[in-house]
Amino acid sequence: MSTYTRSMTEGSEFGNIIRFTMPLLLGNLFQQFYNIVDSVIVGQYLGSSALAAVGATGSITYFFYAFCIGISLGAGIIISQHFGAGNESEVKRYITNSAYVIGLFGLVLSVVSFIFAPSLLHLLETPDSIFDTSVGYMRIACSGTVAVAAYNWINAVMRSLGNSRIPLIFLIVASVLNVGLDLLFVIVFGMGVNGAALATIIAQGISAVSCIVFAFFKFPQFRFDRSTALFNAKAARNCISKGLPIAVQNAFISVSMIYLQRTANTFGDTVIASYTATMRVEQIIQQPFASLGAALSTFVGQNIGAGKLERCIRGYRRSMAAMAVFAVVMLVLFMLLSGPIINIFVDDADVIDIGGTALKLSACFYLFLGTIHTTRGLLNGAGDVNYAMLNGFVEVIGRIGFATLLAVVPEIGCWAVWATSGLTWFLTGLMSLIRYKGGKWRKYAVTETT
């Protein structure tokens, strides 16, 4: 086995998961660092209206990213199972064919999102005061969808092979570059929010290309022969069939977030800026949960391929315990320091007051948020991707339903935005546990061959 790959089918279950999680977590935090740097520089140097303009595009931009992320994760599930089973030729075949699929998706979505940016922001009822700025930011950000697709693809492939360290190294370099370009474009060149978007896209593109080039030189799984390099229709269909339910789930979640953003937009610039700041914090908080879930997914995929179901169950239970500890620690932290945390993003007293209270409200539901990520990691790794689509549908119903009902209650007002997220996490987390307890995921624990 290559020094750049690692099997997680032997040794301590939780030890394997945690060792894999830590580089993945650092990588995800650095990736979120892109967004934090954008928000801090935009909020502090361009003002709360500019921060609101950036925030107004977040949900709709993620809608396009979601499809690429889903297809990448679906391919990673298949690759990890073949890797665990020792099917080297199938690993290579799925790497090449997933690249063809993700490349096409990325290019098409880049073009579509650029063209329809104004129409989509009108649909979101983006305030006129920030509309033009939002359109400019979104068009630049969405033009880089192909770069986002490439990075998520190579990251998913490396994770499926047991490596979470190499993407971290390239991401750290890209993060430093992103900071420098942000300062250069926004402050020195005076490019406004467009400069922040451009800096992020350039940094992500460099990270993706560098990581892919490295993989071709160092990973034996990237040394293809004619039979594994050619397009294979069945392999491509399998990548799509595994990835599409996850992509649809992400799209459903994005649609629900778009609706929630639309709800926030109706309360004016101050609430939009507060929501933007809290979302940036929430994206950071989600990373330990998401990283643990992603590590568990790879762990389960490899062990399913090796026929070791009991290791999957033990790994899941220990991961749930670790997740619960983190959720409680974050609850205590935000109860004490929510105001100063929002102050990092903006100096506006009203934004700090609303955002600080909103963070406390959201923190009460972090245990359910962690349950979603951890349980979904097990289900995805086992190949139960059809539940992902149901999971996304529940989030749509929850966010749209709760937001619609709560926003019209005068006593609740703008707090409906954050209460909606918390209640949706509770509902979705409960359904995830029901799916796990039902045991249907065990039936999907079969590796497909081409």
Residue 299 · residue 20 · CB < 8 Å: yes
pLDDT at 367: 95
- pLDDT for 292: 92
- Residue 163: predicted pLDDT: 84
pLDDT value at residue 46? 85
87-115 burial, b for 16+ CB within 10 Å, e for fewer? beebbbbbbbbbbebbeebbeebbeebbe
Structure-token pair, residue 277:
């700041």
Separation between Cα atoms, residue 383 and residue 366, nearest integer Å: 26
140 φ, ψ to 5°? -70, -45
pLDDT (0 to 100) of residue 448: 44
| CA-based nearest residue to 358, from 410, 418, 427, 436 | 418
Residue 317, pLDDT score: 94
pLDDT of residue 344: 80
pLDDT, one tens digit per residue, over 62-119 is: 778 888 888 888 888 889 888 888 888 888 999 999 999 999 988 998 999 899 999 9
SS in 3 state form for 326-346? HHHHHHHHHHHHHHHHHHCCC
Residue ranges, the chain, pLDDT below 50: 446-450
3-class SS of residue 241: helix
**Tokens representing residue 400 in the block:** 């749209």
DSSP of 361-401, one letter per residue? HHHTTHHHHHHHHHHHHHHHHHT-THHHHHHHHHHHHHHHH
Report the distance separating Cα 122 and Cα 174, nearest Å. 33
Query: Is-contact 204 174, C-beta < 8 A?
Result: yes
Give me the pLDDT at residue 2, please: 58
Provide the whole-model pTM. Answer: 0.75
pLDDT digits (tens, 9 = 90+) for 309-368: 889 999 999 999 999 999 999 999 988 888 888 888 777 788 888 888 888 998 999 999
Cβ density class 190-220: b for 16+ within 10 Å, e for less: ebbbbbbbbbbbbbbbbbbebbbebbeeebe
| pLDDT given at position 447 | 44
